[in-house]
Amino acid sequence: MWGFIVTCGIFLVLLCQLRLLSKRKSKSTPYNALLPNVTVFAMGGTIAGCANSSLEIVNYIPGSVGIEKLIEAVPAIKAIANINGVQVTNMGSENLTPADVLKLAKLILAEVAKPNVHGIVITHGTDSLEETAMFLDLTISTAKPIVVVGAMRPSTAIGADGPMNLLNAVAVASSNQSMGRGTLVLLNDRIGSAFYTTKTNGNTLDTFKSYEAGSLGIVLNQKPFYFFSPAVPTGKVFFDIYNIKQLPRVDILYGYQGLNPKLAESAVHLGAKGLVLAAMGATSWTDDGNEVISSLIREHNIPVVYSHRTAEGYSSNSCLGIPSYFLNPQKARYMLMLAISSGYSIRDIEGLFSIK
Ligand code: SIN
């Protein structure tokens, strides 16, 4: 009996070590000097998700497949680029933290500094993909393409979209046409700007959209076609994260009829150094809510950004705090966190968000 238990224990330890080794290992394709070099950082998500059946596209475990398997599943990638795959995390993107995103951004900064690296792809869960993409857009200053890609169907599904999305992402990251366009989001053949693109539907393949700004281009037969020359989104700023070790807590509060005004106070008491409001309409918050916000600004000198709970829209400077203009709450939050980390005053932050 004891012999059996000890054997099982040894087996489990070996299994864990093998898993750890495979987590740390990076995967490379055979080198072809004629092809560009693309580094793929893997974070997890549905693109690396597994279900019990090929028909299951709702109940599955995201972040189950490692980067090696993801690359192996798309042999055509080898004809486009030399791939260096690096597993950073492997989880559902709802569990990623600002610390994970800061770590990823620093890894990418080190990678794009290598002269032989042409571009970067990040495989990521779609639920918080736009947050990571926005953070990278605000912190990675390079002309090299940075492409964030995900999938809506797990890797085990019939018609899984991950392999084609990954192939297209590598094609975009390998193309000179993609230079100088900031961080890009790629799903469903569409290339979007990280600054504007948002997830609009929890289930469908065509979920990533930027209704007002539109997409930047599409991918046809693994070749990106851009509708416009490279351009910088209006209001995009750059933050140097070299000295940032930790990001401050910034909470988002949602607006609704009869909202509890005290939640804003609680957030600050629980450590928020800034707040973002997903306000009703453009910037509407309730009268008692605004009274609480006003005293928080007065007493704690904390920046409060008014954004909107609507999918699109313009929060203007008619509100009490700092308007987010076109940024949705989750994008405004990372901009505010970076501004606070960089030591900006409330007045500076107003200037950062404002669109002239
Ligand atoms: C996730 O965000 O990790 C799960 C959902 C997805 O990737 O589509």
Same fold, 25-226 and 250-353: yes
pLDDT band at 15 (very low <50, low <70, confident <90, very high): very low
| Nearest Cα residue to atom 7 of ligand 1 | 125
* Residue 97 a catalytic site member: no
**Ligand 1 close to Cβ of residue 88 (< 6 A):** no
Ligand 1 centroid to residue 157 C-alpha, Å: 14
Neighbours of 354 (CB within 10 A): 13
Res 30: pLDDT: 77
The answer to whether the beta carbons of residues 317 and 306 sit under 8 Å apart is no
Q: In the structure encoding, which two tokens stand for residue 116, read together?
A: 């032989």
**Ligand 1 close to Cβ of residue 51 (< 6 A):** no
Res 355: pLDDT: 82
**pLDDT at 123 > cutoff 70:** yes
Domain boundaries, the chain: 25-226, 250-353
Give the total residue count for the chain.
356
**Which tens digits make up the pLDDT trace of 277-332?**
999 999 999 999 999 999 999 999 999 999 999 999 999 887 899 999 999 999 99
Mean pLDDT of 12-17: 39
Nearest atom of ligand 1 to the alpha carbon of 150 = 7
Model pTM score: 0.92
**Ligand 1 close to Cβ of residue 125 (< 6 A):** yes
Ligand 1 centroid to residue 125 C-alpha, Å: 4
Nearest CA among 342, 145, 339 for reference residue 242: 342
| Nearest Cα residue to atom 1 of ligand 1 | 125
Q: Which amino acid is at 294?
A: S
Burial class (CB in 10 A: 0-12, 13-18, 19+), 48: buried
> Which mutation among 129, 148, 156 tests ligand 1's pocket best, with the greatest number of atoms within 8 A of CB?
129
**Ligand 1 close to Cβ of residue 150 (< 6 A):** yes
**Ligand 1 close to Cβ of residue 217 (< 6 A):** no
Res 6: pLDDT: 45
Residue 19, C-beta contacts closer than 8 angstroms, at least 6 positions apart? none
127 is in an annotated binding site: yes
**Ligand 1 close to Cβ of residue 127 (< 6 A):** yes
> Which mutation among 95, 126, 155 tests ligand 1's pocket best, with the greatest number of atoms within 8 A of CB?
126
Put residue 182 in one of left, alpha, beta given phi > 0 → left and psi -120 to 50 → alpha: left
**Which tens digits make up the pLDDT trace of 148-195?**
999 999 999 999 999 999 999 999 999 999 999 999 999 999 999 999
Mean pLDDT of 128-143: 98
Handedness of CA 40, 234, 328, 273 (dihedral sign): positive
**Ligand 1 close to Cβ of residue 45 (< 6 A):** yes
Q: 43: which DSSP letter?
A: E
126 is in an annotated binding site: yes
Burial class (CB in 10 A: 0-12, 13-18, 19+), 56: middle
The answer to whether the beta carbons of residues 144 and 108 sit under 8 Å apart is no
To which residue do tokens 């980067």 refer? 67
Ligand 1 centroid to residue 8 C-alpha, Å: 34
DSSP for 237-286? -----TT--SPPPEEEEE--TT--THHHHHHHHTT-SEEEEEEBTTTB--
The answer to whether the beta carbons of residues 197 and 208 sit under 8 Å apart is yes
| 222-238: b (≥16 Cβ within 10 Å) or e | bebebeeeeeeeebeee
Give the separation between CA 216 and CA 227, rounded to whole angstroms: 6
Q: Are strands 217-220 and 223-226 parallel, antiparallel or unpaired?
A: antiparallel
**Which tens digits make up the pLDDT trace of 75-95?**
999 999 999 999 999 999 999
**pLDDT at 22 > cutoff 90:** no
Res 306: pLDDT: 97
Assign a CATH topology to domain 250-353: Rossmann fold (3.40.50)
Average pLDDT, the chain: 93
**Ligand 1 close to Cβ of residue 162 (< 6 A):** no
Res 17: pLDDT: 41
The answer to whether the beta carbons of residues 275 and 304 sit under 8 Å apart is yes
Q: In the structure encoding, which two tokens stand for residue 222, read together?
A: 């693994």
156 is in an annotated binding site: no
Q: What dotted CATH number matches 25-226? A: 3.40.50.1170
Determine which one of 7, 29, 39, 46 is catalytic: 46
Nearest atom of ligand 1 to the alpha carbon of 128 = 2
pLDDT band at 228 (very low <50, low <70, confident <90, very high): very high
Q: Which amino acid is at 104?
A: L
Task: Indicate the range of 62-66, 107-111, 134-138, 314-318 predicted with least confidence.
Answer: 314-318
**pLDDT at 232 > cutoff 80:** yes
pLDDT band at 26 (very low <50, low <70, confident <90, very high): low
The answer to whether the beta carbons of residues 95 and 44 sit under 8 Å apart is no
**Which tens digits make up the pLDDT trace of 56-65?**
999 999 999 9
Q: Which amino acid is at 9?
A: G
